[in-house]
Amino acid sequence: MRIALLGYGKMGKVIEQIALDRGHEISFKIDVSNLTDREKISPENTDAVIEFSSPASAYENLKFCMSKGLKTVSGTTGWLEHRAEIESLCEANDATFFYASNYSVGVNLFFQLNKQLAKLMNGQPQYEITSSEIHHTEKLDSPSGTAITLAEGIMENNETKTSWVNQAIPKADEVPIWSLREGKVPGTHTIKYISDVDEIEIRHEAKSRQGFALGAVLAAEWVKNQKGVVGMDEMLGF
């Protein structure tokens, strides 16, 4: 299939190599140096778009893709205040919008484990909940989209938590997220339940960008035959 890359940084280059290794063709490679070429992308020359750009660029990129009715896989975080608008544009233009805060299959299994643990911990007020995320120093947004998804999973399944807070002492109904930026860390996420007598911890540590990139290409392959707003839960059958 023909895949266009919107965003051609380190992640885009890894996605490109995996796509080529799986027998796909790269129809366009767009970054800030050739942004005007984005206008050439259409359903006639591209089967799917993979959008891994920056928080500042994602909104305009996705508006373009939705207006053109393109099948689009997005992994950029830090722009989600516009998500409802992008999803409306998707429906209005018969496009396809696949968004995930993290494309690693392992992380998405971790999301499910996090929800189940949060549900089990209902009625156990002796445990304080805390979470942390560590990423490389080049990551622009904080907290990470993955950390937000984990916090939302807790909020959906634990009646004591209704919101999250970053880099601040939490109120009783808040899930705290502590964000660190260190070296070249691809991504480490930890959820802890701490009481006076014991501690329960679940943790996911990415070892490279390969898992994220493979997941994005798998999503592009899957989304070719999909319509509307979809995500990893649908693709993985959760």
Using one digit for the tens of pLDDT, what is the confidence trace for 67-115? 999 999 999 988 989 999 999 999 999 999 999 988 998 999 999 999 9
Q: Structurally, how many domains does the chain consist of?
A: 2
Written as tens digits, the pLDDT of the chain (238 aa) is 999 999 999 899 999 999 999 999 999 999 999 999 999 999 999 999 999 999 889 999 999 999 999 999 999 988 989 999 999 999 999 999 999 988 998 999 999 999 999 999 998 999 999 999 999 988 877 899 899 999 999 999 999 999 999 999 999 999 999 999 998 888 899 999 999 999 999 999 988 888 889 999 999 999 999 999 999 999 999 8
102 is in an annotated binding site: yes
100 is in an annotated binding site: yes
Give yes or no: 189 in active site: no
CA distances from 196 to 169, 173, 175, 200, 228 (A): 19, 19, 19, 12, 47
Q: Are 27 and 54 in contact, with CB atoms under 8 Å apart?
A: no
145 is in an annotated binding site: yes
76 is in an annotated binding site: yes
190 is in an annotated binding site: no
| Same domain for 222 and 164 | no
Kindly name the residue from 71, 115, 135, 161 that is annotated as catalytic.
Answer: 135
- Cα gap 164→147, rounded to integer Å: 10
| Same domain for 201 and 149 | yes
- Coil, helix or strand at residue 215: helix
Give yes or no: 139 in active site: yes
Q: Are 75 and 54 in contact, with CB atoms under 8 Å apart?
A: no
| Same domain for 109 and 201 | yes
Kindly name the residue from 13, 29, 139, 192 that is annotated as catalytic.
Answer: 139
* Domain carrying residue 42: 2-103+210-236
| Same domain for 144 and 81 | no
